[in-house]
Copies of this chain bind each other. A is one copy, B any other.
């Protein structure tokens, strides 16, 4: 039993946009125990689309397809499916009315070209689009269940989750349950080594998904009692990796989890960031609700901002240089004092690509976290490009705040 993901669009075969739909759908199918045998991307080309549909439907039981459902002349997915099935297109009046209503809601008038978006191969099951104008549809193509969705990721994801995924139930082998653990601080291979044996012990499958600089560990159990087995295996993973590495479960960010911890303790955070240039602030405010724990920050790029806004003594800068433990500590204390927060995080480093020396190589970052109870500092040398160094440094800085909250300043 396998599935194929088909993405239709000349903008994809020309490389004009990165195809994120393909990996998203592949992961959704894999998570349901449906093996993805092929992911194909083809141009808006009628004979090619028809031929590909025939070939894929001869080999797979599930086809999920995106793209080619828009109003323009190069959107030809519906007519190609009709040709592959040997049936005519029929207009669905309910879909036509829904498209008109949606466009009027946004102050637009339905164009003649939009009408064809309500045309489907005879016998198709229409899939409603709650996020846009292009409806999708589902047909039986040979022995395969084939679902056609719009290419806009937001519309596709909503349609897949609400209407396509439930229709996949017959293809899912038995019950399944998944726990997603979010980790930071270990490489994928180190995590993999540390978790050796857990799959066999708990009869689960472990999978990894890299979102640099994080690794997500997916614990998947199938069959009887799978929620309890997945939970027990997830707890075993947490025990092996530790709570300093596993920071949360499901759709949460590192900053959100840190924020939760701060809110629970009624504490606020202020930031002084140099080499990361705003990255830490951006991460902390990525999701709504950040004002409950984040007061703000100073991007202290120039030394005179370190001095003027954060009170770092000029002689300290002159003696140790901006990238040093004493300056990181002074910046953290400055953040605490000037921003009026309960905790102050500071980062100062050499992000590269130039500016490194033998003493202070590219990738070197000094961190400090100050509170009324004390101060902690660390230094690390990160590998990779300027962007990678900055992203790793931002996460490592937030990670140090988390460690101070969990273990205090002496840990």
Contact = CB atoms under 8 A, between A and B. Distances in A.
B16 A19 contact: no
B17 A39 contact: no
A354 B290 CA distance: 12
Interface stretch (A237-245, A301-309, A403-411): A301-309
Contacts of A210: 16-17
A294 B23 CA distance: 38
Interface string A296-320: 1111111011001100000000000
B41 A13 contact: no
A28 B271 CA distance: 41
Contacts of A24: 15
A396 B23 CA distance: 31
Copies of this chain, count: 2
Nearest to A52: B38
**Interface extent on A, as a size class?**
35 or more
A288 interface: yes
A26 B284 CA distance: 36
Contacts of A284: 277-278
A48 B37 contact: yes
A36 B52 CA distance: 15
A386 B277 contact: no
Contacts of A279: 278, 282
A42 interface: yes
Contact of A338 (B270, B277, B309): B309
A361 to B, nearest CB: 14
B298 A302 contact: no
A287 interface: yes
Interface in A108-123: none
Interface string A12-46: 11111111101111111110000111111111000
A286 interface: yes
A134 B351 CA distance: 27
Contact of A296 (B26, B35, B302, B352): B302
A257 interface: no
A239 B164 CA distance: 47
A387 interface: yes
A295 B288 contact: no
A299 B278 contact: yes
A353 interface: yes
A217 to B, nearest CB: 11
Nearest to A305: B296
Interface in A202-227: 207-210
A16 B192 CA distance: 14
A14 B36 contact: yes
A153 to B, nearest CB: 11
8 contacts: A12-B23, A14-B27, A15-B29, A19-B22, A40-B41, A278-B279, A281-B299, A286-B387
Interface of A: 12-20, 22-30, 35-43, 48, 207-210, 270-271, 273, 276-288, 290-291, 294-302, 304-305, 308-309, 338-340, 351-355, 386-387, 390
Which 7 A-B pairs give the minimum distances between C-beta atoms?
Answer: A278-B281, A15-B27, A277-B285, A278-B278, A15-B26, A296-B305, A39-B41
Given A15-B36, A296-B300, A309-B339, 13 more contacts: A13-B37, A13-B38, A16-B27, A18-B18, A19-B19, A37-B43, A38-B48, A278-B285, A281-B281, A294-B301, A298-B299, A304-B340, A305-B340
